[in-house]
Structure 1
Amino acid sequence: MARELKEVQGIVFKRQKYHEADLLAKIMTQNNGIITMIARGALKPKSKLSAALLNFSYGTYVLYTSGQGLSTLRTYKNIKQFDGLFSDLTKNAYASFILDLIDHAFTEYQSLGKYNDLAVFALQKIDQGADAEMITQIVQMQLLAAYGVEPELRHCLVCGRDQGDFDYSIKQGGILCSQHFFTDADRLHLNPKETAVLRTIGLLPYERLGSIQISKNIKHSTRKAIDRIYQDTIDLNLKTKKFLDELNLFV
């Protein structure tokens, strides 16, 4: 395919040295998905490209691209940065994990659609000082659909009941009412409040969840539950997740 000059709006979330003086950077865009671009000479002392490719920088990037493979950064416009994410280790770790999850859910140049908006919402909230753990759990529950394992959270998988006490079944892919707990001995054994939180953060529009308040104990339980769901249904092995665990943020 022919390469063309194209402007994209995006957020830089990964960068690494390439050859002697070049940089590779990944950016998340809404309409063009995840793009890997090379910035030639960005590491040379007089280059201005490197500063525009710091993690959590965002703005307009002008690329030579064919819509597949590696694109080439030509220049940039109006670059800003999520300063809180860049300078705070904890915020940085959560934001990196969120964008890593999205990166693994999509192929390059695949449109992210609503998940781009979800990611931007999450980064903005964490940058502003919102509960980063809770924001991350929201993203994880809503991102399951992008991995092709969207759980049934609206009603019992067996009888369709949508009121009462529920638990989560990984094997069956969603919630069970108390009358059908017996159908899965390996259900997560969450209490009703914990299951209610999973349902809420998985179903409600994310913009309505920005100020959700959850006790530390419930948040700890839902964290363990979401970890189990991801481990048993997707089995990702992300360095960003390991780093969060090492920080004891999910304990």
Structure 2
Amino acid sequence: MALIEGLILTTRSYRDNDLLVRVFTKEEGILTVMARGAKKPKSKVGYACQPYTWLIFDGAYPKNGAGLGFMNGVQESKSYRHVIQDINVSAYAALIAKLLDLAFEENQPQTSWYQKAVAGFEKLDAGIDPQIITNIFELQLLPAFGVAPNWQADPISGAVTGDFDYSEKYNGIIDRSHFDLDDHRLNLEPKTVYYLRQFSAIDIEKISKVTLSLMTKRAIQRVIDYLYDRELGLKPKEKVFIQKMAAWEGQLAIKARKGKS
């Protein structure tokens, strides 16, 4: 038996009264634990077995790094209520959880990423723009998927300041003097490149407030979606839901403006 600290990513029903809980643990990375009887009214663990809950529980790690672990009792827990109650924030949280789950193998310690995950959910719960927090995760997780764009310097000249654009040919940024070397560069606005570079390296724990225009946020998202589509061929259903939700909100805004006029 052990005391296990972790962040619940997802849960799913198993048999009549049990739950399989996907947990990003501090010590052993991502694993699945069985919470027996969690769906019973008098369960000692059911109240804490909700996605996006941080907890410390009595349990056991999977034997020999394979199979299921177990959750027998909860010592301490914290539910991120704003994340759960706000459908927009919850949608982005689901995407972060999915990307973390896809990026790392089971039962492989990821201590630094565990800390980032907890910090990210703290920021979401504090009301910081969920798209920006998610964009930071998307960019910083790319190396874990085997894709590592160079956001730091022009690979040809070594320049770290100036006007840059993204070049798939050179797997990262190139400065203005080299734009003619890639006819298929993305033609990004300098502000977009600036924030992509910042988000790729920023410490999530140090973020206190970020305010960007809708146009800049859309430009950043287009680049990230381009990288995930082109380099990974990855488009989780959570991403599709967010895109559909944005489309619905756009249609409602148009209807509201027409009604006002």
Q: Give the TM-score normalised by the residue count of structure 2.
A: 0.88
| Aligned with 1:57 (options 30, 53, 56) | 53
> Which whole-Å CA distance do the structure 2 matches of 1:113 and 1:211 have between them?
25
Q: Give the letter aligned to residue 54 of structure 1.
A: Q
> Which whole-Å CA distance do the structure 2 matches of 1:181 and 1:28 have between them?
42
Taking only aligned residues, the RMSD between alpha carbons, in angstroms, comes to 1.8
Secondary structure at 1:248 match in 2: helix
> Which whole-Å CA distance do the structure 2 matches of 1:19 and 1:64 have between them?
20
**Aligned ranges 1:182-221 → 2 under 5 Å:** 182-221=180-219
Contact 2:44 2:73 in 1 (8 A): no
Deviations 1:87-109 (A, max 9, x none): 11111111111121111110011
> Which whole-Å CA distance do the structure 1 matches of 2:126 and 2:69 have between them?
32
Contact 1:170 1:232 in 2 (8 A): no
Q: Give the letter aligned to residue 35 of structure 1.
A: L
Contact 2:6 2:25 in 1 (8 A): yes
Secondary structure at 2:246 match in 1: coil
Q: Give the letter aligned to residue 100 of structure 2.
A: I
Q: Give the letter aligned to residue 190 of structure 1.
A: L
Aligned to 1:103: 101
Contact 2:45 2:72 in 1 (8 A): no
Deviations 1:113-163 (A, max 9, x none): 322222212111111111111111111111212222121111112221222
Structure 2 portions without partners, runs of 5+ = 251-261
> Which whole-Å CA distance do the structure 1 matches of 2:46 and 2:205 have between them?
33
Q: Give the letter aligned to residue 5 of structure 2.
A: Q
> Which whole-Å CA distance do the structure 1 matches of 2:155 and 2:206 have between them?
26
**Aligned ranges 1:1-251 → 2 under 5 Å:** 5-65=1-61, 66=63, 67-248=65-246
> Which whole-Å CA distance do the structure 2 matches of 1:28 and 1:96 have between them?
14
Contact 2:7 2:52 in 1 (8 A): yes
Distance 1:21 1:207, change over 3 A: closer
> Which whole-Å CA distance do the structure 1 matches of 2:214 and 2:206 have between them?
20
**Which structure's residues are more often helix, by fraction?**
2
Deviations 1:198-250 (A, max 9, x none): 11111233334442332221111011111101111122231211111121179
> Which whole-Å CA distance do the structure 2 matches of 1:6 and 1:203 have between them?
35
Contact 1:23 1:39 in 2 (8 A): yes
Deviations 1:7-53 (A, max 9, x none): 21111120111122211110112221011011122223332322110
Distance 1:196 1:104, change over 3 A: same
Secondary structure at 1:157 match in 2: coil
Contact 2:81 2:125 in 1 (8 A): yes
> Which whole-Å CA distance do the structure 2 matches of 1:116 and 1:169 have between them?
31
Contact 1:201 1:209 in 2 (8 A): no
Q: Give the letter aligned to residue 215 of structure 1.
A: S
Structure 1 portions without partners, runs of 5+ = none
Q: Give the letter aligned to residue 158 of structure 1.
A: I
